[in-house]
Chain A
């Protein structure tokens, strides 16, 4: 595997379900990100992890819970979601969140539909 991978690519869940999104980066980066992309809206940064510590949480509802067990893996745990949470969830990584190289490399995303 190369780059940034995300699973699953598509997910349909009911509002009472619990599911998790997984992201893995194979680039040796130290920072990882979760973004939400809704139709006709700019990308919304949800969470940032640098060296496995959360450094940013942009007022995301508690029904989204991130986990970063190591610098290569990032999870987004979902529970009791709302239909408006349906969106494309993108994971990204970069060499360093606080300095050095800033460009982020993205995975293909998980298309989430909440019914």
Chain B
């Protein structure tokens, strides 16, 4: 069965701290895609990254970085030097063999000034 687990329901840190959001997935497919989305209080889900199962290179985009580890079925997301504007709910998702997105429950990130 396909499944995405975001065990951290809510994380609260002080601005400028680094924070890592965990994502663990389950799939029997050898080809799959993983995603991260951000949902700020306005409600709109914003696409952050897509990673396919054959590319285990870590990705860095500014203060954001992603660590994909097939051995542990994890796709973790780190924000370096967090800012208040990073406060949002972050979702990890898995595209299955039918290309439907299977979503995690989300992690609410609170950045305190």
Contacts and interface: CB of A to CB of B under 8 A. Distances in A.
A43 interface: yes
Interface residues of B, number: 20
Interface string A88-115: 1010100001110011111111010000
Contacts of B99: 97-99, 102
Contact of A109 (B43, B98, B103, B105): B43
A56 B100 contact: yes
A63 to B, nearest CB: 23
B43 A88 contact: yes
Nearest to B4: A42
Given A98-B99, A111-B43, A103 B104 contact: no
A13 interface: no
A43 B45 CA distance: 11
A84 B43 CA distance: 19
Nearest to B91: A43
A41 B42 CA distance: 18
B21 interface: no
B33 A42 contact: no
A108 B100 contact: no
Nearest to B104: A42
Contact of B45 (A42, A99, A106): A106
A105 B46 CA distance: 7
A45 B101 contact: yes
Interface string B28-47: 00000101010000111111
A74 interface: no
A75 to B, nearest CB: 19
B64 to A, nearest CB: 15
Contacts of B44: 106-109
B91 A45 contact: no
Interface string A23-53: 0000000000000000011110100100000
Interface of B: 33, 35, 37, 42-47, 50, 91, 95, 98-101, 103-106
